[in-house]
Amino acid sequence: MNVNFKMETRTSEKNVPIIGLQGEVDVYTAPQLKQQMISLLEQGAKEIVVDLTDVDYLDSTALGVLIGGLKRLREIDGNLMLICPNARIRRVFEITGLDKIFDIHNSEQEMHTAAGKETA
Amino acid sequence: MGNGDSPAQVELIIPCRPEFVGVARLVMLGVASRMRFSYDEVEDIRLAVGEACTTSVEWAERNRRSDSTIVLRSEITPDKLTVDIIDTAGSRKDEADSSDDQDKEDLGALLITLLVDEIKIEPGPDGTRVRMVKHVGQR
């Protein structure tokens, strides 16, 4: 068991799976995230949300897994969205330029509001 | 630092395996926190060292060297932190890697160059030595 990492998948009010992560997402724990995304894709998910609110460390392995998920979802006209209010974690996306590729929101609420505007 | 500004060394040896990269990060957090770095700079050092160790771990897996190690050697002086990451993970010669692996490694390398002031990579047949330097009060 790893006390530095937890993963729990819930469903949003719009029935979109949200993978909630806690702790350190790195070379040791990112494979679990990858596995979970693959299994959601196999179940037919076209949209997946990854909630990084409680993540305190994220490395290139985690970024690689998220990019892989985004690629596969975009291939089927889907999308991967991120919830990331933590400035330190957001900085990793910013310095690598990945903040321009991912849909990053500060909260689930903000994400729903943005989605509502798009469909309106 | 307790003893004025005299140089100090901290050394750690870990197995070159995924579950130990977090241990290297913890040590770097401790070392960098004892210097005159800002909070963000300490984070940069932790991430850069984590990335270097991750690359070592990935090569150890690729080269099937589960018994290899990483030596993490930090040298602390008043004006800079020098960290050597020396692995015995074998040669880093590319052989038909999947593009995903390549992307991930490029991302790791990019992060390191953005986070520290100097980086030097010396590949060898038996392993790789990475040296990174972060200066105090650069930003």
CATH number for the domain harbouring residue A33: 3.30.750.24
Q: Inform me whether the C-beta atom of residue B51 falls under 8 Å from chain A C-beta atoms.
A: yes
Beta pairing, strands B8-15 & A17-25: unpaired
**B3 located within any domain:** no
**A57 located within any domain:** yes
Q: Quick check: B22 and A68 CB within 8 A?
A: no
- Residues A68 and A101: beta-carbon distance below 8 Å: no
Q: What is the pLDDT of residue B112?
A: 95
Asked whether the predicted pLDDT for residue B137 surpasses 70, the reply is yes
**A116 located within any domain:** no
Above pLDDT 70, what percent of chain B? 88
Q: Cα A107 to the chain's mean position, in Å?
A: 12
Q: What is the pLDDT of residue B94?
A: 72
**A86 located within any domain:** yes
Q: What is the pLDDT of residue B4?
A: 60
**A43 located within any domain:** yes
Rounded average pLDDT over B22-37: 96
Residue among B86, B88, B85, B92 nearest B65 (CA): B88
Q: What is the pLDDT of residues A13-63, one digit of tens each?
A: 889 999 999 999 999 999 999 999 999 999 999 999 999 999 999 999 999
Q: Quick check: A64 and B21 CB within 8 A?
A: no
Above pLDDT 90, what percent of chain B? 82
**Higher confidence at residue A114 or residue A118?**
A114
Q: Tell me how close the Cα of B41 comes to any Cα of chain A, in angstroms.
A: 11
**B106 located within any domain:** yes
Q: Inform me whether the C-beta atom of residue B47 falls under 8 Å from chain A C-beta atoms.
A: yes
Give the domain extent around B115: 8-135
Q: What is the pLDDT of residue B123?
A: 93
Mean pLDDT (chain B) is: 91
State the number of CA atoms in the 13 A half-sphere of A109 facing the CB: 1
Helix (H, G, I), strand (E, B) or coil at B108: helix
Asked whether the predicted pLDDT for residue A8 surpasses 90, the reply is yes
Give the domain extent around A46: 5-109
Chain A residues in contact with B114 by the CB 8 A cut-off are: 95-96
State the number of CA atoms in the 13 A half-sphere of B133 facing the CB: 10
CATH assignment at residue B118: 3.30.565.10
Mean pLDDT (chain A) is: 93
Q: Give the list of residues 6+ apart from residue B45 with CB closer than 8 angstroms, or none.
A: B28, B32, B37, B81, B83, B115, B116, B134
ipTM of the complex in this document: 0.88
Partner-chain residue, chosen from B40, B50, B110, that has the shortest CB–CB distance to A26: B50
Asked whether the predicted pLDDT for residue B62 surpasses 80, the reply is yes
CA–CA separation, A19 and A13 (whole Å)? 14
Verdict on whether the full-model pTM lies above 0.95: no
Q: Inform me whether the C-beta atom of residue B18 falls under 8 Å from chain A C-beta atoms.
A: yes
Reported confidence tier of residue A112, pLDDT bands at 50, 70, 90: confident
Asked whether the predicted pLDDT for residue B6 surpasses 90, the reply is no
Q: Quick check: B111 and A26 CB within 8 A?
A: no
Asked whether the predicted pLDDT for residue A118 surpasses 70, the reply is no
Q: What is the pLDDT of residue A81?
A: 97
Q: Quick check: B104 and A95 CB within 8 A?
A: no
**A117 located within any domain:** no
Rounded average pLDDT over B100-112: 80
Q: How many domains does chain B have?
A: 1
Q: Give the list of residues 6+ apart from residue A81 with CB closer than 8 angstroms, or none.
A: A47, A48, A49, A50, A102, A103, A104, A105, A111
Asked whether the predicted pLDDT for residue B7 surpasses 80, the reply is yes
**A59 located within any domain:** yes
- Residues A9 and A19: beta-carbon distance below 8 Å: yes
- Strand segments, DSSP code E, in chain B are 8-15, 69-76, 80-87, 118-123, 128-135
Rounded average pLDDT over B82-87: 98
Q: Quick check: B18 and A68 CB within 8 A?
A: no
Q: Tell me how close the Cα of A75 comes to any Cα of chain B, in angstroms.
A: 16
Q: How many domains does chain A have?
A: 1
**B112 located within any domain:** yes
Asked whether the predicted pLDDT for residue B3 surpasses 60, the reply is no
